[in-house]
């Protein structure tokens, strides 16, 4: 780590200058934009960032960032990133993955990164499709989706990425969208501040193979009824002028109701810091048409980061054990031949 | 059967022998492996050369008394150089009928057979498939049989202690050990000291085992059951400080040595798998020595994390066995493309698939050489013996770092578990492992601009200002930009291959291990067959036969001068392998020479006699 | 499928006669016993069972059952089983796995089987250790566990297997223990009745490498305070004579309280059929010392089974499309050369 | 540059040519692949022989106007037999400056060059790295250049329609197609019919494209820009019903044929990967034909599900490319142990690692042969051409079922995407694929009791009463019980190997493809190099050179008689491969013969001229 004062960056300082090769109109452009802007504002020396990805359109991301980076193999970015973070905890290690990369072939590494609480910041670009391989359905595609590989419609129900992460014990999960640049930047900032694993689902439009997949969420008009922004300590209001709200019925069933000035004790007041994860879990699978889709930080609870525990053990061993190599090689019992 | 009765009066005659081969066998729960290790270490401490062969079932505790549940341990100790655990045992201890049945064929005619007669009850006999007690039949004729009520005497010895009957019975292996110590004139002290260390927190167990060990020793002495006491003198090992070491511990220690000599953090990412797991276990205790370990969720994650660590500027290492190596292939392709140092240790076992997971084999050479898609070359090395694991890990790490490449090191179950005296190197005698991180943006011309001498690309630690760069699996040009240019691809494929081939000049040229260039027969080996081949060659030469041997520690690239030696001997080369001829195929293709293979795929190492027999046959045929 | 009347079986009809090679005292014996007993009572022809496993002590299971079976490769049993079930939906396909096999190397296949709702009945023997490889910690081992591979204690928090399954969208999850033979049989029966994927965590003792891991749950005395049995429609009572109970506080936080004759409206009444999975999720990670461990069926909701949808599509295609091979091979445009 | 001005008055002269090679190039979004396919199909329907080479970037829509964004398509159609898309093009259509720059070297001297002059603006020129317009410089001298404002004329042609400007511009490829149809005297009707089918639900698009197609045709005719109209007559193909077919579609159709002829359900478990994905796509439409598909979560799950399906009594199939094959290695080991039929299709691409994912290569032979731990042999086959994919899938399935073994079939990106006229087999002419499920408990002696003729074990469908049994990765004895017995292991390892080797007697022996045994040079090939090698051989023979060729469709086991043929030619054998010599190494090792390799690792197929040049050089040297 450099001990010089941190330079102040502009967004373009994070651009590698490599020609960006996504399709014109792809949602990935706005995400790139937001990440570059957010990184520039973070006050972290550029050389301390490492961005690791798998394979997919989304996974081309590291090439476009003027940081250290690895374009890995399909689904395995969290493994590479875990090695980096354990070897060099002082680095800021970001993972960029797609719904296919992260939840199809890479699902296991993702849930284990969550379980361990390794200090990786994971951005999953969820376009509900395999873009790079030309449009097969993904584990987040809606049931019945007609794609190149499912001419009669897909038959499997999708994952909710945030539910999967919470099921695995995630300590930070958030959701945002390509189109919401400021919100996206804020989520990036929040993830960076979290110690341990942070998982962000970024709703992303693939205008070539799944155009409008998130239209209900990102459309100027649609979003009013279909999005609820999570804010710490605030009731979950949404709709035109916040005229609707979410309540939790006695039986534990959520329901969308008319806002009644907060008088209903069943009103859900958002608390991202609750240790018990069931409410975050409940939020994680709410979705239109019945419910608005929650955007924002669903959960942010403190827990020791894996890399800290790892190095704490090393430090303890270094303090309490000899590091004499000769002694080690000799072991407890030797004999001498003259 | 000639049941041996105690020798009458006077002291038992002592006989000096050059070597002794002992085999212990019993249930998985009988402590066979532990007893064997004690005997080995004691012998090593006594100045003998030692070689061992643990041989245990794939189940943790297969059902007591059954044939598949038998666990065995063979060791040879000698006053001469010893390279194998020996072919047939001079003495066998069988803790139950099943152990007897499985192991009897491994006992020499006239050999000593100690059986725990308490275990020869109807139930155990039935489980072992005997319809009568062999102690009462004819099948043990020709052996010197000593039926001893090991269980009952052990219980008697512990009568005064508070242990449960079960705990008492678990001491019975030390009774047998005591008898053997007396029979082979071994000192008790090292074992007693070991017991105190091991059971520091349970002194009652240390005490009980000590009691039983002494009881066994005294029983042998006072009951005078043996006709002869054997003595095995010091072996003429090179001067130095020695310890006993198995292959996997040697690997772990070498990682500490690598960390020490390179100044790098060593990062071992691993997923448990027999027979490689103990590398992870032992490395887990080396945190103070610069070795960090990470137990991953699977083998792909293990090698992924190791590769990530290498990118971050540590030395990534991963240890596994065949099934794990199969899973790592795709990530190794990425390592080849990223051109980072990475050490992949494969401790081979019986395959294919789950195969014979606790047995040894050499059948992962093919996958080590070719198990990746595309043109994906990578150095492959192989260790020859437990102690050699130390040196080859060190060497593999040196090559990986200097040439910026993943390296595969092959070991196998036989040397992983087998122990031998190991001359402890002084840290100051270890060669340094120079590491150069590129740090200067001024002189950085691109992530794939190669060193003129080695063809290696620069290694840059993240965190270095001004050298931000991206690497990955897509083809790159010299500057590190993605390139789909056809000529660039061909050029990079060739450059990667040339880099690996160029390592030939950084490794020792081929040379004979034993014998002379003009000999009538050349025996070539790689990996753990080294001991049996060398021993066979020496014995044949002692008998006046003109046999030489050559051992390959480097399988890719092959050492310089190998072609000439092989061409010189074409048609008179024997290549014993524990597979169906994988190296034979490589050498024939590469050098166009005719090689006869000796194949054995039984999960067991070669016996010296097997190699000698085939060598003799070849000599006769070519004469 | 045989059309003959189903023979009546005895437990021993399901024993392959192969010598069982687990350690004496291993909890796997009781599970084998329970499965054989439950299968014999199921009224399914023996030849219709297929048991698929991965690698581990637990995964030796198929060898001991006189049914069809595959002892697969490590972690991949659900993949083999999915192929079997799709090819032959009429077969009863059971998967036996361990906490290492199923949640370490095999985690991804497990969550995808849950997501798809493939009609597999999955028994995970959770001994919180890798038995077969001689005692390394597993993804369910408690943090700080000293094992062969973690001499200074493990540093990662464990998975809760049922939370992982629910996060993936499981439609049936249950928990039982090796020592509770009758309960285990009942859970097996319940899983068999569920259409779609059924996941059962079986707490199992490895007396060699992790003896007593579940002593708090299975011990005669300990279980009284540490176990709550889930029964449909019943309040969650536990402890000596059911004197304690679980409530859900307004904020959604569970708490263990004294039983007050059911007067507390916050009392949790168990409903395994609730479509909304948050309550099941909440139950899935309750554990001693703060809470009792729930045993029984946490969730059992109807949803189309993957294999049914798969064959439904095939049937529809068969009905609506030509199956003329000549026509297919010729394709839409051909020409003739004479 | 000689800018071509419209020919004046009268009808344009017609010229009959034997073959024409056309290359289309433009942005990824310009519809190049679609235009190429239309031209190919039209030519095939016109009775020509046709071969194609789609060549597209790894990005979906790389940035417009850039060099890496260029997508290309080359086709050759002829009145003679055509085996490759041709070396250099007679005509090139370049939709923008980048396309021109990337493809100009592929145009013959004197060739026709049509450029969309509208796209040659400052911005596009800069993106392509031109500092001036090549239309105004000297670099196009020696070509017949036709600058046409394709974009603007297309817009004019669609003035009356309601389409957005963007939608209009997307029709411009049909303008160029129209011009080419006129230039090469092709009928419009097949394309018009295709448009109606394709845009059945969007008739406005069908209409717009038709308008533009006709506009292009008419423009060429009325503007008289070309000096000559070319005609290419019928090719002398064997009589029969023909269709146009690419390699991956051929694979999918073959699966339906296999289901039909075997009566088995075919179960394709796959995970998308370029260039194999379209196998899954096309098979996804074959549900009514007995082919079920399953898109798995990864490659391991895909092959696992396929293997499970085979256990259940279906024919499991999995399709992938190199990285996926690397991941499947461990499961294939299990398939070898379980001895069940399984078909593994690997469509090779440029490696290692992610490499050049949309380009072609033959570098996965090594991993196909050796990419599994332990002794793990498996038949390996390779298809020679798009149409051959059909036959080889059928053959691979037949062998898998008859010999109860997984089989790997190699294809590659070149034949996967390349199309050719395919003689449609009549179902009644397809051989049956006999399947035998063992059902009788009386005659069942064990899961691994082998058929005397083939060495295959019995296949039993779960659900069969009385035949309950377990298989798996641990070594088994003949009865199917787990066995750790050393001799049994060796015996089983040998039996599995012998079974695969025995397949030699079930496949056609080696024979020359072209030429005679006494020729001076033998060119050996495998896989997709067949076309270029055969073409080169024919041309060399036409020139009186004594060159023969031999093509290998079976790489493991190798066909009978191959050794003799190779030995006969040792030292006079040329083996062109799109890798660093993988088959060469196998053949040298196996037969001890000297073979010269011709290596190309550029992601591109061989040109006929490259093979001819090397063959000539060898002939000269050996003369
Ligand atoms: C081992 C392996 N399997 C398959 C592929 C092919 N592949 C590349 S990207 C991809 C899916 C990408 O989907 P997603 O992660 O959603 O990324 P997107 O392109 O949609 O951003 C697949 C299947 C591969 N490169 N490697
Ligand atoms: C690919 C592969 N990696 C590793 C192993 C080694 N291995 C066998 S079983 C096992 C863990 C088993 O743990 P679990 O599933 O909990 O089963 P248990 O023995 O505890 O019942 C491991 C790591 C293997 N057989 N194959
Ligand atoms: S295919 Fe879709 S995800 Fe990929 S670059 Fe194009 S628009 Fe973006
Ligand atoms: S090691 Fe543990 S889990 Fe395995 S058989 Fe023994 S007791 Fe059971
Ligand atoms: Mg996607
Ligand atoms: Mg376990």
Query: Per-residue pLDDT tens for B112-132?
Result: 999 999 999 999 999 999 999
The verdict on C239 touching A (C-beta cutoff 8 Å) is no
The best mutation among A147, A208, A210, A214 to test binding of ligand 3, ranked by most ligand atoms within 8 Å of the C-beta, falls on: A208
Residue A51 vs residues A87, B2, B446: alpha-carbon distances, Å: 15, 76, 19
Residue B364 · residue B410 · CB < 8 Å: yes
CA of A136 to the centre of ligand 3 (A): 12
Chain C: residue whose CA lies nearest to B297: C104
What ligand 3 atom has the least distance to the C-alpha of A204? 3
The verdict on B329 touching A (C-beta cutoff 8 Å) is no
pLDDT at C260: 80
Please name every residue paired with D242 in a beta bridge, in sequence order, or none if there are none: C335, D423
- Per-residue pLDDT tens for B538-597? 999 999 999 999 999 999 999 999 999 999 999 999 999 999 999 999 999 999 999 999
Chain A residues lying within 8 Å of C274, measured CB to CB: 251-253
Number of CB pairs, chain A paired with chain C, less than 8 A apart: 123
Mean pLDDT of D375-395: 98
Chain B: residue whose CA lies nearest to D473: B354
Task: Give me the percent of chain B exceeding a pLDDT of 70.
Answer: 98
Strand order in the sheet with D49-55: D2-3, D144-148, D107-116, D89-94, D19-27, D70-78, D49-55
Mean pLDDT of D545-554: 98
Q: Measured between CA atoms, how close is D322 to chain A, in angstroms?
A: 12
Assign a CATH topology to domain B2-231: Pyruvate-ferredoxin Oxidoreductase; domain 3 (3.40.920)
**Crossing angle, helix A107-116 and helix C107-116, to 10 degrees?**
110
Distance in angstroms (rounded) separating the CA atoms of residues B210 and A20: 74
- Per-residue pLDDT tens for B369-409? 999 999 999 999 999 999 999 999 999 999 999 999 999 99
Quick check: CB of A96 below 6 Å from ligand 1? no
Distance in angstroms (rounded) separating the CA atoms of residues B320 and B318: 7
Dihedral pair phi/psi, residue D538, rounded to 5° = -60, -45
Q: Measured between CA atoms, how close is D64 to chain A, in angstroms?
A: 8
pLDDT at D1: 44
Q: Determine whether the interchain pair B241/A330 forms a contact, defined as Cβ–Cβ distance below 8 Å.
A: yes
Q: Could you tell me the pLDDT band of residue B1, with boundaries at 50, 70 and 90?
A: very low
Chain B residues lying within 8 Å of C134, measured CB to CB: 60, 274, 277
Please state, rounded to an integer, the average pLDDT across all residues of chain D.
Answer: 95
Which structure tokens are listed for C237? 């009572």
User: Best residue in B166, B281, B321, B417 to probe C by mutation, most C CBs within 10 Å?
Assistant: B281
Distance in angstroms (rounded) separating the CA atoms of residues B2 and B149: 17
Number of CB pairs, chain B paired with chain D, less than 8 A apart: 222
The verdict on D197 touching C (C-beta cutoff 8 Å) is yes
Q: Output the CA angle B83-B85-B88, nearest 5 degrees.
A: 125
Q: Could you tell me the pLDDT band of residue A4, with boundaries at 50, 70 and 90?
A: low
pLDDT at D56: 85
Residues in chain C, total: 338
**Crossing angle, helix D172-183 and helix D150-157, to 10 degrees?**
100
- Residue D381, classed as helix, strand or coil, is strand
Judge residue B335's burial from the number of C-beta atoms within 10 Å of its C-beta, 0-12 exposed, 13-18 middle, 19 or more buried.
Answer: buried
Residue D26 · residue D95 · CB < 8 Å: yes
Assign a CATH topology to domain D243-429: Rossmann fold (3.40.50)
Which structure tokens are listed for C308? 């049914």
Task: Give me the percent of chain D exceeding a pLDDT of 70.
Answer: 98
Q: Determine whether the interchain pair C63/D470 forms a contact, defined as Cβ–Cβ distance below 8 Å.
A: yes
pLDDT at D10: 60
- Which of these, A39, B56, D245, lies nearest to C331 by C-alpha position? D245
Q: Determine whether the interchain pair C2/D424 forms a contact, defined as Cβ–Cβ distance below 8 Å.
A: no
- Per-residue pLDDT tens for A290-338? 999 999 999 999 999 999 999 999 999 999 999 999 999 999 889 998 8
The best mutation among C63, C64, C206, C212 to test binding of ligand 4, ranked by most ligand atoms within 8 Å of the C-beta, falls on: C206
**Closest CB from B333, B353, B600 relative to D333:** B353
Residues 568-587 of D with CB under 8 A from B: 579-580, 585-586
What ligand 3 atom has the least distance to the C-alpha of A209? 2
Chain B residues lying within 8 Å of D490, measured CB to CB: 600-602
pLDDT at D225: 84
- Per-residue pLDDT tens for B209-246? 999 999 999 999 988 888 899 999 999 889 999 999 99
Domain B2-231 and domain B521-621 have a common topology: no
Q: Could you tell me the pLDDT band of residue B13, with boundaries at 50, 70 and 90?
A: confident
Q: Could you tell me the pLDDT band of residue D5, with boundaries at 50, 70 and 90?
A: very low
**Closest CB from A88, A318, A328 relative to B463:** A88
Please state, rounded to an integer, the average pLDDT across all residues of chain B.
Answer: 95
Please state, rounded to an integer, the average pLDDT across all residues of chain C.
Answer: 95
Which structure tokens are listed for A168? 């695995």
Mean pLDDT of D70-79: 95
Distance in angstroms (rounded) separating the CA atoms of residues D229 and D13: 6
CA of A99 to the centre of ligand 1 (A): 9
Judge residue B443's burial from the number of C-beta atoms within 10 Å of its C-beta, 0-12 exposed, 13-18 middle, 19 or more buried.
Answer: exposed
Q: Measured between CA atoms, how close is A278 to chain C, in angstroms?
A: 5
Judge residue D8's burial from the number of C-beta atoms within 10 Å of its C-beta, 0-12 exposed, 13-18 middle, 19 or more buried.
Answer: exposed
Q: B521-621 is classed in which CATH architecture?
A: 3-Layer(aba) Sandwich (3.40)
pLDDT at A2 over 60: no
Q: Determine whether the interchain pair C104/B271 forms a contact, defined as Cβ–Cβ distance below 8 Å.
A: yes
Assign a CATH topology to domain A11-213+304-311: Rossmann fold (3.40.50)
- Which of these, B332, B312, B341, lies nearest to B401 by C-alpha position? B341
- Per-residue pLDDT tens for B411-445? 999 999 999 999 999 999 999 999 999 999 999 99
Chain D: residue whose CA lies nearest to B68: D484
CA of C99 to the centre of ligand 6 (A): 5
pLDDT at C5 over 70: no
> For ligand 4, atom 1, which residue shows the shortest CA distance?
C131
**Ligand 4 interacting residues, C-beta cut-off 6 A:** B 60-61; C 22-23, 26, 28, 57, 127, 131, 206-209
Q: Determine whether the interchain pair D471/C310 forms a contact, defined as Cβ–Cβ distance below 8 Å.
A: no
Chain C residues lying within 8 Å of D305, measured CB to CB: 79-80, 82-83, 86
pLDDT at C223: 95
Chain A residues lying within 8 Å of D68, measured CB to CB: 19, 21
**Closest CB from C79, C109, C329 relative to D424:** C329
Least confident of B513-522, D53-62, D438-447: D53-62
Mean pLDDT of D582-588: 95
Ligand closest to CA C106: 2
Q: Determine whether the interchain pair C68/D462 forms a contact, defined as Cβ–Cβ distance below 8 Å.
A: yes
Mean pLDDT of D105-118: 95
Domain boundaries, chain C: 11-213+304-311
User: Best residue in B304, B446, B458 to probe A by mutation, most A CBs within 10 Å?
Assistant: B304
pLDDT at A7: 76
Chain B: residue whose CA lies nearest to C153: B284
Distance in angstroms (rounded) separating the CA atoms of residues A267 and D298: 42
Select the more confidently predicted residue: A152 or D137: A152
CA of C97 to the centre of ligand 4 (A): 13
Sign of the alpha-carbon dihedral angle for B547, B551, B552, B558: negative
pLDDT at A6 over 90: no
Q: Could you tell me the pLDDT band of residue D622, with boundaries at 50, 70 and 90?
A: confident
pLDDT at B3 over 50: no
Mean pLDDT of D385-408: 98
pLDDT at A1 over 60: no
- Per-residue pLDDT tens for D498-542? 999 999 999 999 999 999 999 999 999 999 999 999 999 999 999
The verdict on B444 touching A (C-beta cutoff 8 Å) is no
CA of C101 to the centre of ligand 2 (A): 6
CB neighbour burial string for C297-306, b if at least 16 within 10 angstroms, e if fewer: bbbbbebebb
Ligand closest to CA D29: 3
Task: Give me the percent of chain A exceeding a pLDDT of 90.
Answer: 91
Quick check: CB of A138 below 6 Å from ligand 1? yes
pLDDT at A263 over 90: no
Q: Measured between CA atoms, how close is C29 to chain B, in angstroms?
A: 12
Q: Could you tell me the pLDDT band of residue D137, with boundaries at 50, 70 and 90?
A: confident
Select the more confidently predicted residue: A7 or C101: C101
Please state, rounded to an integer, the average pLDDT across all residues of chain A.
Answer: 95
Quick check: CB of A33 below 6 Å from ligand 3? no
**DSSP string for residues in C65-115:** BSSEEEE-STT-HHHHHHHHHHH-TTSEEEEEEEHHIIIIITHHHHHHHHH
Mean pLDDT of C165-187: 98
Strand order in the sheet with A254-258: A237-238, A244-248, A254-258
Distance in angstroms (rounded) separating the CA atoms of residues D299 and A268: 43
Domain boundaries, chain D: 2-231, 243-429, 441-506, 521-621
Chain B residues lying within 8 Å of C137, measured CB to CB: 295
- Whether this model's pTM surpasses 0.80: yes
Residue C70 · residue D338 · CB < 8 Å: yes
Q: Determine whether the interchain pair B475/D580 forms a contact, defined as Cβ–Cβ distance below 8 Å.
A: no
Which structure tokens are listed for A98? 């797609």
The verdict on C276 touching A (C-beta cutoff 8 Å) is yes
């Amino acid at each position: 780590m450099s001990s010089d004062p941190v330079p102040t960056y502009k967004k373009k300082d994070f651009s590698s200058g490599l020609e960006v090769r996504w399709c014109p109109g792809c949602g990935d452009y706005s995400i790139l934009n937001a990440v570059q802007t957010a990184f520039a504002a973070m006050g972290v020396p550029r050389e301390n960032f490492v961005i690791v990805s798998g394979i997919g359109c989304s996974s081309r991301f590291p090439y476009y960032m003027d940081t250290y980076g690895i374009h890995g193999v399909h689904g395995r970015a969290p493994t590479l990133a875990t090695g980096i973070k354990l070897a060099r905890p002082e680095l800021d290690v970001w993972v960029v993955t797609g719904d296919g990369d992260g939840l199809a072939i890479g699902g296991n590494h993702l849930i284990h990164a969550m379980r361990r609480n390794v200090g990786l910041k994971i951005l999953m670009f969820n376009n509900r499709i395999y873009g790079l391989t030309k449009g097969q359905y993904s584990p987040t595609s809606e049931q019945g989706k007609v794609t190149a590989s499912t001419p009669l419609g897909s038959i499997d129900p999708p994952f909710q990425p945030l539910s999967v992460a919470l099921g695995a014990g995630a300590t930070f999960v958030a959701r945002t969208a390509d189109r919401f640049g400021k919100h996206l930047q804020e989520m990036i900032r929040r993830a960076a501040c979290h110690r341990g694993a942070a998982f962000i689902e970024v709703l992303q439009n693939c205008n070539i193979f799944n155009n409008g997949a998130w239209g209900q969420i990102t459309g100027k008009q649609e979003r009013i009824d279909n999005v609820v922004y999570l804010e710490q300590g605030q009731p979950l209001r949404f709709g035109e002028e916040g005229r609707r709200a979410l309540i939790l019925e006695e039986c534990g069933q959520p329901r969308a109701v008319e806002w009644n000035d907060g008088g209903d004790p069943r009103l859900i007041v958002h608390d991202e810091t609750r240790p018990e994860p069931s409410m975050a879990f409940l939020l994680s699978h709410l979705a239109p048409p019945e419910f608005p889709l929650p955007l924002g930080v669903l959960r942010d609870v403190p827990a020791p980061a894996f890399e800290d525990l790892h190095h704490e053990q090393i430090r303890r061993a270094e303090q309490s054990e000899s590091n004499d190599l000769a002694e080690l090689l000799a072991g407890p019992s030797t004999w001498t031949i003259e | 059967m000639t049941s041996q009765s105690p020798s009458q009066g006077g002291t038992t005659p002592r006989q000096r022998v050059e070597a002794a081969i002992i085999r212990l066998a019993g249930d998985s729960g009988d402590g066979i492996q532990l007893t064997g290790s004690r005997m080995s270490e004691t012998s090593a401490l006594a100045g003998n050369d030692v070689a061992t062969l643990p041989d245990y079932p794939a189940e943790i505790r297969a059902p007591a008394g059954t044939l598949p549940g038998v666990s065995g341990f063979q060791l040879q100790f000698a006053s001469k150089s010893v390279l194998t655990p020996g072919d047939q045992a001079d003495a066998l201890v069988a803790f139950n009928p099943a152990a007897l049945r499985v192991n009897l064929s491994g006992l020499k005619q006239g050999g000593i057979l100690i059986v725990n007669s308490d275990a020869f009850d109807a139930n155990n006999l039935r489980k072992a498939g005997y319809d009568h007690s062999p102690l009462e039949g004819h099948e043990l004729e020709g052996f010197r049989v000593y039926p001893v009520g090991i269980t009952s005497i052990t219980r008697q010895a512990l009568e005064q202690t508070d242990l449960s009957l079960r705990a008492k019975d678990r001491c019975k292996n030390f009774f047998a050990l005591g008898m053997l110590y007396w029979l082979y004139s071994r000192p008790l002290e090292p074992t007693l000291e070991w017991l105190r260390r091991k059971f520091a927190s349970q002194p009652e167990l240390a005490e009980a085992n000590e009691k039983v060990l002494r009881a066994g020793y005294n029983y042998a002495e006072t009951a005078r059951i043996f006709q002869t006491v054997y003595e095995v003198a010091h072996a003429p090992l090179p001067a130095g400080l020695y310890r006993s070491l198995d292959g996997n511990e040697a690997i772990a220690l070498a990682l500490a040595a690598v960390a020490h000599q390179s100044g790098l953090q060593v990062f071992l990412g691993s997923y448990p798998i027999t027979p490689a797991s103990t590398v992870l276990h032992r490395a887990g205790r080396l945190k103070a020595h610069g070795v960090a370990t990470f137990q991953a969720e699977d083998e792909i994650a293990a090698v992924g994390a190791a590769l990530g660590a290498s990118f971050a500027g540590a030395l990534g290492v991963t240890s596994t066995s065949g099934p794990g190596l199969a899973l790592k292939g795709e990530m190794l392709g990425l390592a080849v493309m990223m051109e980072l140092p990475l050490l992949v240790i494969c401790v081979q076992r019986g395959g294919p698939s789950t195969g014979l997971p606790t047995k040894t084999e050499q059948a992962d050479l093919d996958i080590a050489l070719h198990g990746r898609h595309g043109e994906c070359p990578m150095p492959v090395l192989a260790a020859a013996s437990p102690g050699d694991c130390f040196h080859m890990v060190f060497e593999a790490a040196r090559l990986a770092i200097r040439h910026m490449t993943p390296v595969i090191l092959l070991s196998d179950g036989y040397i992983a578990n087998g122990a031998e005296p190991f001359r402890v190197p002084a840290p100051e005698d270890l060669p340094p492992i120079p590491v150069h991180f590129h740090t200067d943006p001024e002189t950085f011309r691109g992530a794939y601009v190669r060193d003129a001498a080695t063809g290696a690309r620069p290694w840059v630690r993240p965190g270095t200002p001004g050298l931000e760069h991206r690497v990955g699996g897509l083809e790159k040009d010299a500057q590190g930009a993605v390139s789909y240019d056809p000529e660039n691809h061909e050029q990079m494929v060739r450059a990667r291959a040339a880099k690996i081939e160029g390592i030939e000049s950084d490794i020792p040229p081929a040379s004979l291990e034993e014998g002379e260039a003009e000999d009538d027969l050349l025996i070539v080996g790689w990996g753990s067959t080294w001991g049996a081949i060398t021993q066979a060659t020496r014995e044949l030469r002692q008998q006046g036969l003109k046999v030489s041997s050559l051992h390959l520690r480097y399988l890719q690239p092959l050492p310089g001068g190998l072609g000439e030696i092989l061409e010189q001997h074409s048609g008179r080369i024997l290549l014993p392998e524990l597979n169906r001829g994988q190296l034979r195929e490589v050498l024939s293709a590469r050098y166009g020479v005719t090689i006869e293979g000796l194949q054995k795929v039984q999960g067991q190492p070669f016996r010296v006699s097997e190699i000698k027999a085939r060598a003799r046959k070849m000599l006769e045929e070519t004469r």
